[in-house]
């Protein structure tokens, strides 16, 4: 089973489901994004999770295959995928990772790799009306319907299997607690711009989404307050200042 694993909440939850519930052999993929400040943290988290899994559940040593590492910078360009991604952006927000993940899969001829889009995810809203159950044996796993071939959404998301499409983060938390996975889930990482002290910044989109999706407890109170101040006060003031500056230039 091929899985895109970042050491984050969603993909780690799915890793645990595959290894510990399905006893499935998993090959994890990680794409190194040199422009993201959290890359080093994510790699350290992945190593710690792998080691702890082996200690707690020794059978995972055989099931969890060697990590497959690739660089985002080395992924070939693909005008069709890029144009489709830009088309989606004209209608709604979508993280840039979906564009280069699709280009990566196309360049490597990878299909049905597991991508952990969950309910309440921004990508969920972009494709929720275009997906169907991938296999009757696994009713919670979705993929893009073939009849939507040619649409921008199908062009970008056709490479992926979506095993968490019906779950929220808080539902994952409840399931992890019931199954005894809570220690591992608390090791996961999500922030793109960690502070010098190694804490979540509270300012980046993943931090904001964590708060919106019921996992705000993962961010220290001081950083949550800093993020709220930035969103409610600092950013509006900056937008107002830019508007005033443009008006002043127009009158000059």
The whole-angstrom distance between residue 222's C-alpha and the CA centroid of its chain comes to 25
Mean pLDDT of 194-208: 84
pLDDT of residue 236: 56
Beta bridge mates, 70: 31
Nearest to 192 by CA among 216, 167, 209: 209
- Summarised one tens digit per residue, pLDDT across range 157-188 is 999 999 999 999 999 999 999 999 999 999 99
Cα within 13 Å of Cα(15), Cβ side: 26
- Summarised one tens digit per residue, pLDDT across range 57-91 is 999 999 999 999 999 999 999 999 999 999 999 99
pTM of the entire predicted model: 0.84
pLDDT of residue 208: 85
Domains of the chain: 2-173 (3.40.50), 192-251 (no CATH)
Q: For residue 207, give every residue at least 6 positions away whose Cβ sits within 8 Å of its Cβ, in sequence order, or none.
A: 190, 191, 200, 201, 219, 223, 227
């Amino acid at each position: 089973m091929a899985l895109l694993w970042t050491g984050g909440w969603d993909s780690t939850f799915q890793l645990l489901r595959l290894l510990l519930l399905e006893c499935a052999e998993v090959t994890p993929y990680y794409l190194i994004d040199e422009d993201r400040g959290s890359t080093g943290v994510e790699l350290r988290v992945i190593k710690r999770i792998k080691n702890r899994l082996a200690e707690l559940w020794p059978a995972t040593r055989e099931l969890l295959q060697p990590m497959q590492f690739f660089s985002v910078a080395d992924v070939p360009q693909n005008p069709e995928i890029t144009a489709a991604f830009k088309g989606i952006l004209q209608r709604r927000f979508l993280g840039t990772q979906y564009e280069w993940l699709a280009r990566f899969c196309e360049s490597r001829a990878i299909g049905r790799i597991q991508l952990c889009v969950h309910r309440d995810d921004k990508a969920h809203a972009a494709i929720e009306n275009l997906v169907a159950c991938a296999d009757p044996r696994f009713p919670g796993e979705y993929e893009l319907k073939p009849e939507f071939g040619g649409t921008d959404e199908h062009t970008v998301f056709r490479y992926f299997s979506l095993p968490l499409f019906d779950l929220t983060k808080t539902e994952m938390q409840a399931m992890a607690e019931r199954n005894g996975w809570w220690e591992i889930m608390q090791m996961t990482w999500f922030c793109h711009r960690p502070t010098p002290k190694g804490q979540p910044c509270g300012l980046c989109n993943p931090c904001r989404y964590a708060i919106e999706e019921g996992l705000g407890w993962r961010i220290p109170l001081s950083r949550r307050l800093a993020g709220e101040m930035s969103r409610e006060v600092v950013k509006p003031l900056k937008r107002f200042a830019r508007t005033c500056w443009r008006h002043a230039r127009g009158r000059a």
